[in-house]
Amino acid sequence: GEDVEQSLFLSVREGDSSVINCTYTDSSSTYLYWYKQEPGAGLQLLTYIFSNMDMKQDQRLTVLLNKKDKHLSLRIADTQTGDSAIYFCAERPYGSGNTGKLIFGQGTTLQVKP
């Protein structure tokens, strides 16, 4: 079945770049997403990439997709303390239709040290 894997924890210093990695198993996934969860809050969509793209950039965020290796990464440039959160990778499997069922990874806790 579909599976999405992430490492659980990443610690960086303020001003450095953060790279959060994700692997997935469903090669027919149509869209891949990054969500952010701040403490005590629900999930908020950060960005997404369509499966026929290799890269997407949005201000400080860069998403890289390697379809051959089924590997997705999120790079946050100039990481700030406000970026401290849990980051979830999610895939939308082919065949999920219009309901948009998502498969989530375990979440990576990003700790930003001043």
Partner 1 sequence: DVKVTQSSRYLVKRTGEKVFLECVQDMDHENMFWYRQDPGLGLRLIYFSYDVKMKEKGDIPEGYSVSREKKERFSLILESASTNQTSMYLCASRVSGQNTEAFFGQGTRLTVV
* Residue ranges that bind partner 1, judged by CB under 8 A: 4, 6, 8, 30-31, 40-45, 48, 50, 88, 90, 92, 98-107
- Angle (CA) 38-43-44 rounded to 5° is 90
Nearer to partner 1, 70 or 92 (CB): 92
Nearest approach, Cβ of 112 to partner 1 (angstroms)?
20
Minimum separation from the CB atom of position 72 to partner 1 (A): 14
Closest approach of partner 1 to the CB of residue 96, in Å: 10
Alpha helices (H) in 10-84, listed in sequence order: none
Local structure of 98: helix, strand or coil: helix
CB-neighbour burial class of residue 84 (10 A; exposed 0-12, middle 13-18, buried 19+): middle
**13 or 101: CB nearest partner 1:** 101
Residue 104 or 114: which CB sits closer to partner 1? 104
Cβ–Cβ < 8 Å for 43, 94: no
